[in-house]
Amino acid sequence: MLNLWDPSAHLGFVIALLTAALLGVLHGITPDEHTWPITFSYSVGSYSSRGGMRSGFAFSAAFTLQRAIAAELAYLLLGSVLALQSAQAYLYVVIGLIMSGSAVYILRLGRHIHFLQPFFRRFSRRPDSGAAPAVRPLSWKMASVHGFVAGWGTGAFALIVYTVLTPQMPSAALGFLPGLLFGVGTMLTQMAIGAAVGHFVGRMRVDPALLPVMARRIAANVLLYGGLAFVAAGGLEIWTPLSRWGIETPLHVHNLHTIGVGTVLAVGIVFGVATVSFAREFARMRSKA
């Protein structure tokens, strides 16, 4: 019998792979700091169902590759993969820097980011003409880099894949399969979420000529401030065991059973920034109509 909460260490080959795939689907649905913030940001910037689906695919395809590699490493050298748990804080910092760097690139050296304007004007030696520069389009390559880096996080789902399902593979040649199928399951839901977010933004009542600029600004703001939150969380985790703090819930679903720093990053910070950005940009664009 399938048990996605606490799977047995004595599953058959097919059941172990099916469990990995279903865990991936569940992982893609539940709020997770290694998936939702990034997929959401790039899907918003794509402002269409197809673009959102493409963003979800680019992110999760790289994520899937990483999970397959990590699962193979877990089969061969379990201790090395488990050591990633101690590197979670540093991973937060790296992910945050990549997110913020992407935002700076999209917004062309931060000229829309008010508190960074003086620094970037001085750094880039560009005069501030007061005109709003065009934002750069989001690249699927950036989403792929995010997916590969974020995949090295070791939450509850990853630990089940690495320590319970992967060791049950019959040989090293098949050790990567649980990670691969977990990634594919995550990919399916992340593509659906990306398409839904992109569709929502594309349906907003804004001048079609202004919609790309608005969507990319929102995406960049989420990436920037979400990235800074990741860096701050990583810094705090290095200083104090922040990840041990949490509020338990009665839901026996990983990522929902405990409300902790990951939930705050994935839901509180990211969607908080997104809500404020949507309101500001929508009002700005409506005033230009």
pLDDT per position as a tens digit, 66-124: 999 999 999 998 766 767 777 888 889 999 999 998 888 887 754 444 444 444 444 33
Averaged pLDDT of the chain: 83
pLDDT in tens, 169-199: 999 999 999 999 999 999 999 999 999 999 9
Question: Which of 13-17, 46-50, 88-92, 274-278 is modeled with the greatest confidence?
Answer: 13-17
Pairwise CA distance, residues 211 & 37, whole Å: 21
| Total number of domains constituting the chain | 1
Q: pTM for this structure? A: 0.85
Pairwise CA distance, residues 94 & 149, whole Å: 8
Strand partners, 259: 247
The first and second tokens of residue 152, run together, are 């090295």
Assess if residue 164 is contained within a domain: yes
Check residues 170 and 2 and name the one with the higher pLDDT. Answer: 170
| Three-class SS state of 124 | helix
Task: Please report the pLDDT score of residue 48 as a whole number.
Answer: 87
Assess if residue 206 is contained within a domain: yes
Q: Residue 106: which domain range?
A: 13-288
User: Could you tell me the pLDDT band of residue 288, with boundaries at 50, 70 and 90?
Assistant: low
Sign of CA dihedral 69, 74, 75, 80: positive
Assess if residue 2 is contained within a domain: no
Q: What is the DSSP letter of 166?
A: G
Phi, then psi, of 259 in degrees rounded to 5? -95, 105
Pairwise CA distance, residues 49 & 84, whole Å: 35
The first and second tokens of residue 169, run together, are 């593979």
Assess if residue 153 is contained within a domain: yes
Check residues 9 and 166 and name the one with the higher pLDDT. Answer: 166
Residue pair 89/221 in contact (Cβ under 8 Å)? The answer is: no
Assess if residue 1 is contained within a domain: no
Assess if residue 92 is contained within a domain: yes
Above 80 in pLDDT, residue 282? no
Assess if residue 55 is contained within a domain: yes
Phi, then psi, of 8 in degrees rounded to 5? -75, 155
Considering only CA atoms, give the Rg of the chain: 20
Assess if residue 3 is contained within a domain: no
Instruction: Pinpoint the alpha helices (H) of 47-176.
Output: 49-76, 78-82, 88-106, 117-124, 140-150, 156-160
Check residues 166 and 120 and name the one with the higher pLDDT. Answer: 166
pLDDT in tens, 55-75: 999 999 999 999 999 999 999
Above 80 in pLDDT, residue 132? no
Closest CA to 255 of 18, 27, 68: 27
Query: Mean pLDDT throughout 238-261?
Result: 83
